[in-house]
């Protein structure tokens, strides 16, 4: 390892159907407390081919939490406290494009946030910050994911826009046609505010969107059965676990600073003057913003 790299601690956030990572050695579930409340579950620590990995089931084991009730702030804060340097999200989505059939993986590079009932920032009264979300995904992580998709022969597309809706209900047909008119590629319920919070916590983030079905814009949508969706969901989850195992070695050595990935996203983001900062708020931010607050 050169002086310009360091070892990564990669976290995988598993969405619908992905509640564990097979093959982890020395696996142990561990409670990591957060100053922002309860995370979705304990964190699963282990090693994959000798490399450390952390796993968090986004909905909790047994899928206890709806997209709206997930405590996204606690999840990201807990991962930061655990020493995580990079996050890979795997998420089930509906397709807004004919060419992205069920079973297709889309490596997302943009988001449209349509959620409205979630806490979307770690900051607030007493400590205000504004981070850039122009390029929300780490190119370095996306490169590794693309190489792994090719290696495994998975059907994939590099680049795409993920619309995050509030849920838990699915779209109306009018909404589905609207999102298609915007040029969006897939629709899901969970990657916002997750990606925003990862950026605020200065953790590079990438998303693998796993298509389970066509959204209701598609003429065949009404003929899709729950059984068919579950079958695709299961196959996607198996492919996602294979992808994680393949990509982990590719990102284990990482740059000291992943500038495009957001390692220093807070460098000039804090607006509140030091003398005006609320000590209680600052104390809550000790993990996600400790690097800049201590400096």
Whether residue 86 lies in the annotated active site: no
Q: Which of 77, 109, 213, 258 is catalytic?
A: 213
Beta bridge partners of 151: none
Helix axis angle, 72-81 to 191-200, nearest 10°: 40
For the four alpha carbons of 252, 233, 73 and 24, in that order, the dihedral sign comes to: negative
Binding residues for phosphate: 16, 58-59, 91-92, 190
As a whole number of angstroms, the distance between CA 197 and CA 201 comes to 6
Binding residues: 16, 58-59, 91-92, 189-190, 213-215
Binding residues for substrate: 189, 213-215
Whether residue 213 lies in the annotated active site: yes
Q: Which of 215, 263, 278, 286 is catalytic?
A: 215
Tokens linked to 87: 């996050």
Strands 186-188 and 161-164: parallel
As a whole number of angstroms, the distance between CA 167 and CA 80 comes to 27
Within 13 Å, how many C-alpha atoms sit on residue 61's CB side?
8
As a whole number of angstroms, the distance between CA 133 and CA 215 comes to 26
Would you please indicate which residues are annotated as catalytic (active-site) residues? 213, 215
């Amino acid at each position: 390892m050169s002086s310009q790299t360091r070892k990564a601690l990669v976290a995988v956030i598993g969405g619908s159907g992905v509640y564990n990572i097979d093959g982890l050695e020395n696996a142990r579930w561990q409670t990591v407390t957060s100053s922002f409340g309860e995370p979705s579950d304990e964190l699963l620590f282990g090693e994959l081919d000798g490399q450390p990995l952390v796993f968090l089931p986004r909905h909790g084991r047994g899928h206890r939490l709806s997209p709206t009730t997930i405590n996204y702030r606690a999840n990201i804060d807990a991962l930061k406290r655990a020493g995580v340097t990079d996050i890979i999200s795997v998420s089930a989505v509906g397709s807004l494009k004919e060419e992205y059939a069920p079973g297709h993986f889309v490596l997302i590079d943009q988001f449209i946030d349509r959620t409205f009932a979630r806490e979307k920032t770690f900051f607030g009264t007493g400590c205000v910050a504004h981070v850039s979300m122009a390029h929300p995904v780490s190119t370095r992580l996306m490169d590794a994911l693309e190489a792994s998709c090719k290696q495994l022969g998975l059907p994939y597309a590099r680049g795409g826009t993920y619309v995050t809706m509030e849920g838990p209900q699915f779209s109306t047909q009018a909404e589905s046609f609207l999102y298609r008119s915007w040029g969006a590629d897939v629709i899901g319920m969970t990657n916002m505010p997750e990606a925003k919070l990862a950026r605020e916590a200065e953790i590079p983030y990438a998303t693998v969107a796993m298509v389970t079905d066509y959204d209701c814009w598609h003429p065949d949508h009404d003929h899709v059965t729950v059984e068919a969706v579950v079958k695709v969901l299961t196959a996607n989850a198996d492919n996602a676990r294979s992808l994680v195992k393949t990509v982990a070695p590719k990102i284990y050595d990482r740059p000291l600073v992943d500038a495009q990935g957001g390692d220093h996203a807070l460098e000039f983001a804090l607006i509140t003057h030091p003398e005006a900062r609320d000590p209680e708020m600052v104390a809550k931010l000790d993990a996600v913003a400790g690097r800049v607050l201590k400096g």
